[in-house]
Chain A
Amino acid sequence: MLNIKCPYCGDRSQKEFAYGGDGTITRPKLNQEISDEEWDNFVYLRKSPRGKHIELWHHIAGCRQWFKVERDTTTHEIFRTFKPEE
């Protein structure tokens, strides 16, 4: 069970969080002309890297804030956690 430092609440057990997927994805702007390929990239295609990865987590049983976690997907080492605007 990971130990995750919520940027708002501090160290908490993984139990309190929900994983939210790749944190590097940016949603295309509204009302923007966009090709099928670009849209599919956004909706479906994820890299799933081995090693360092920025992820989204949601402090679902806590402050209910979404935030980002830089984590190694093989060792589970967490390098930093930060607010989405950082």
Chain B
Amino acid sequence: MSQNFRLNTGGLINRDKPIEFKFNGKKYIGYEGDTLASALLANGIHLIGRSFKYHRPRGFFGAGVDEPNAKMQVEINGCSEPNINATEIELVNGLSASSQNCWPSVNFDIGAINNFLNRFFPAGFYYKTFMWPKSFWYRVYEPFIRKAAGLGIASLEKDKERYEHKYEYCDLLVTGSGPAGLASAYAAAKNGAKVILAEDKPRYGGTLLTDDVTIDNLSGKDWSEKIISELKEMPNVIVKNRSQVFGYYDHNMMVMFERTGDHLEKKPKHTPRQRLWYIRAKEVLLSTGSIERPIVFGNNDTPGVFLSAAAKEYMKVYGVLIGKKPIIFTNNDSGYETAIEFKKNGVNPIVLDTREDQNSELINEAKDLDIKIKFSYAVIVAHGYKKVKSATIGKLNKEKIDFENTEQIDCDSICVSGFWTPTVHLASQSGNKLKFNDSIDAFVPEKSKQNEHSLGAANGTFTLQDTLKNSFNTGSEVSKSITKKDEKIQIPNTNERKYSAHDKFWCSPLPKGKNYKRFVDFQNDVAVSDIEVALREGYRSIEHVKRYTTLGMATDQGRTSNLNGLQLVANVEKKIVPQVGHTTFRPPFTPVTIGTIVGREVGKEYMPIRKTPMHHWHEKNNAVWVDAGAWKRPRYYKRGNENLFEASKREAKNVRKYVGVCDVTTLGKIDIKGPDAAEFLNRVYTNAWLKLPIGKARYGVMLREDGIVMDDGTTTRISENHYHMTTTTAQAANVLSHLEYYLQIVWPELNVNVVSTTEQWAGAAIAGPKSRDLLAKLFPKIDVSNEALPFMGYVEGDLFGVKARIFRISFSGELAYEINVESDFGLFMWEKIIEIGEEFNIQPYGTEALSTLRIEMGHVAGPELDGRTIPYDVSLEGLVSKKKDFIGKRSLAKEAFNKADRQKIVGLVPLDRKSSIPEGSHLVENKNAKLPNPKLGHVSSSCWSVENNNPFSLAILKDGKNMIGKKLFAVSPLKNTSIEVEVMSSHYVDHEGKRVRS
């Protein structure tokens, strides 16, 4: 089919560049500058989809974001995306689109049976029908509804496109480049303000492209081009098309969705597909314009029914006729503009005006052009199933609630105009309370909560002269207060036609005995009768009516249906619209792809990865990684075909027998300096710190104010007023914030400074009976004997020319040391340890072996310090000072913390000495007891004890102190295991702690 509905001349499309595309598998031709919608209409295609609930045939209705019907599955560059608005997507070569929500085809859709059964599908149908029996929900109803619901199909392929985020700051953000946006942006830019002007469409100018007006003797289009080109030249202005500001958040944070790549046939390599802008604007000027309201009548959803302004836009911007025999059905002068445009293009429309005979500039012009006008007339019902073929029209009686006479006339399209609704979504999102303006029957912004102003049609100002005047002035005033410049601008002369008053007519009455479906919301298939049902059933709040009927939901957010819905509720309830109120406007104004919201944070960019200086060595030596926050730590080093269990057992055994080395760089390190440092540590930790000598380390536990253990670690006194604190990997950031809080807010009188040095120091723990021999070879000049460097000792040394800190501390329970060097030398240190350790059978060990070693020694870690335990629970009561006060001490005196049967850490061994006990298992007395089986405790950590060659676990057990020797069951419903265990001391190996002191 060739482009039978394309005008021979006119439009802003590029007729020299034909573009081939596919719709439902068939090839068509459009032009560069077309949207998918305009190209299909040029080819006479109107039936483009099926409605959501009744599967009724649907066609185009609008020409931009107002479009409720034309959602399509679109394929570009091998990517398939659902719910693309055909009126917004630009035509590119190779684009392939198809209809949604129909099977087997848009022409013959089985689901349309719903239409004939529609009296069985009233509002609330799903809520009423799928309630019982309850067991049917998962098996029957839910799969059925899932299949029937939804519009397009989301692709299961990985999105290959690239999306970006961008942050921008400006003095003024102007949303929309119609007359209000252009004038205000221009005035502000002239005052030197940093301005961002955002336009959703590819072309700038808004209604100036379609309205028959002149500004300073230029056509609207020429004037807008002149202003845009001037703005683009100014260094303080960013002008963006294809950019929709969709969200207005706190403190003038605006979010904008830019379509950077979709319209390009060949996208340059590094151009993203779409971009999300976060814009913090000092002032926001909302020039979002208005959207035409439909008038509701019977079968008003038949393909061929359009908004009248959309019909005009298709002619003026795209050179496309939406029909050759149109009815213009209007309650105001706008319809006449469309009628005149048809006439100019050789089409004879008939105008039905709900108002009585009257004169205005536009009406007179139409009369002069011999356009047929019927006053006090309305469309009652459209005829035709897949396309409008004729309409029954009628002369309204005086009260406009019935018809005096009716007749059927032939037509191929019906253009409706029910006056204009300001686009107040962004203003409302900003917290602006809207008020109802009776003269335009719509809500307009009132008092601004944030720094924002609505201008032009968005503010209910519908004349060009007033719009330009207000917008130049506001742009100028607002920018003046920011830049302190005041450039005088001559407000241009305009020439426009004056409108006469519109008629408050929004819905054609039903003639007696007729029951035509009259749709308020096309996208959700909500008809007048549905809203009436909801009201009859007792729904009163407009928010409830919305949810029960789905009026105004989904992608079009009620852009064309909101006010008519409110009018209907007001009529039935015998109220006025402002009493009914409006539903809440929420972002996004138009749909935004998930890809854009996610941006670059996908795959390995999902979050930053922290690597220790020894990372690449671990990698080369077959480390299998485990995530510890953002850090990557070796879990074990795989040799041959080893699995986790075998490798960690080997590594742990090697520590107990010879010596192992573990990368402990990830531990949190905090440098503490100042004359009051000791006093501060004394308040932070539960144990005493005032007498720690220089060159000594001490283990400490810190609590939250509620008495719960927050973290543990060692702190070493490096010099008189200098301490080095270590924290667990997981709590490093929290501990620093905690210390800063107490120093800055609670005890500012303490002269202490803290700073994180986690990334400044690389750490290696060498552990095992041979570790001293190894240390002696690493530091030949240092006396490393037990007397010179005892347990909890500290010394500084020289590691082959590199300054090193040596701490004699142990997590494994073995004789052990921790060496720290500056991060740049971390790899050097590590390689030296491996090289020299070879003669002592050194092996690196990962976190799994590390856990094994600490568990069988009964050392607590994260799983025990889980935010629910106090020091007593984890056998740390010896570290709690009775003499001094510290953070959280008062809480430890509370009754519940001092009960005799308080939970306590214990050790567990399976009776069969074979079965591993899953972590998280519940401890119960009788595994067969009736549910709920009383839970006595839980298993916190499990390992295979390499010392005793059987499984061993730590558990937090009620009255644990008195449970030693008892037999319990460790039950894991997750793993479906039930293991009989014996309760014992949590110290399974080296009870007396001899090894660490050896």
Measuring CB to CB, which residues of chain A are less than 8 angstroms from any residue of chain B? 1-3, 13, 18, 20, 27-28, 30-31, 34, 36, 39, 42-44, 56, 58, 60, 64-66, 75-78, 84-85
Contacts and interface: CB of A to CB of B under 8 A. Distances in A.
Given A1-B251, A27-B746, A75-B431, A58 B280 contact: no
B249 interface: yes
B683 A66 contact: no
B14 to A, nearest CB: 41
Nearest to B707: A43
A36 B894 contact: yes
Interface stretch (B490-498, B628-636, B737-745): B737-745
Given A34-B890, A42-B705, A60-B737, A13 B748 contact: no
B252 interface: yes
B251 A76 contact: yes
Chain A facing B: main interface SS: loop
Given A60-B737, A84-B748, A43 B250 contact: no
B868 to A, nearest CB: 16
B891 interface: yes
Contacts of B885: 30-31
Nearest to B744: A66
27 contacts: A1-B250, A1-B251, A1-B253, A2-B250, A3-B251, A13-B280, A18-B737, A20-B741, A28-B890, A30-B885, A31-B884, A34-B890, A39-B890, A43-B891, A56-B745, A58-B737, A60-B737, A64-B736, A65-B740, A66-B740, A66-B744, A66-B745, A75-B431, A76-B250, A77-B449, A78-B251, A85-B748
A43 B250 CA distance: 31
B370 interface: no
B487 interface: no
A54 B745 CA distance: 14
A64 B733 CA distance: 11
A65 B736 CA distance: 12
Interface string B232-268: 0000000000000000011111000000000000000
B745 A84 contact: yes
Nearest to B890: A39
Contact of A58 (B278, B740, B746): B740
B252 A3 contact: yes
Interface in B873-930: 884-885, 890-891, 894
B706 interface: yes
Given A3-B251, A36-B894, A60-B737, A43 B745 contact: no
A13 B740 CA distance: 21
Nearest to B742: A27
Of B683, B705, B745, most buried by chain A (CB within 10 Å of CB) is: B745
Contact of B683 (A1, A30, A77, A78): A30
Given A1-B278, A44-B706, A66-B740, 20 more contacts: A1-B251, A1-B253, A3-B250, A20-B741, A27-B705, A27-B746, A34-B890, A36-B894, A39-B890, A43-B705, A43-B706, A64-B736, A65-B740, A66-B741, A66-B744, A75-B431, A76-B250, A76-B251, A77-B449, A84-B745
- Nearest 4 pairs between A and B by C-beta? A3-B251, A30-B885, A66-B744, A76-B250
Contacts of A18: 737
Given A3-B252, A42-B705, A84 B744 contact: yes
A2 B251 contact: yes
Contact of A3 (B253, B431, B737, B894): B253
A36 B885 CA distance: 16
Interface string B657-700: 00000000000000000000000000100000000000000000
A65 B280 contact: no
Nearest to B251: A3
B393 to A, nearest CB: 51
Nearest to A29: B885
Nearest to B746: A27
B681 to A, nearest CB: 14
A18 B86 CA distance: 43
A57 to B, nearest CB: 11
Contacts of A60: 737
A64 B890 contact: no
Nearest to A74: B431
A7 to B, nearest CB: 12
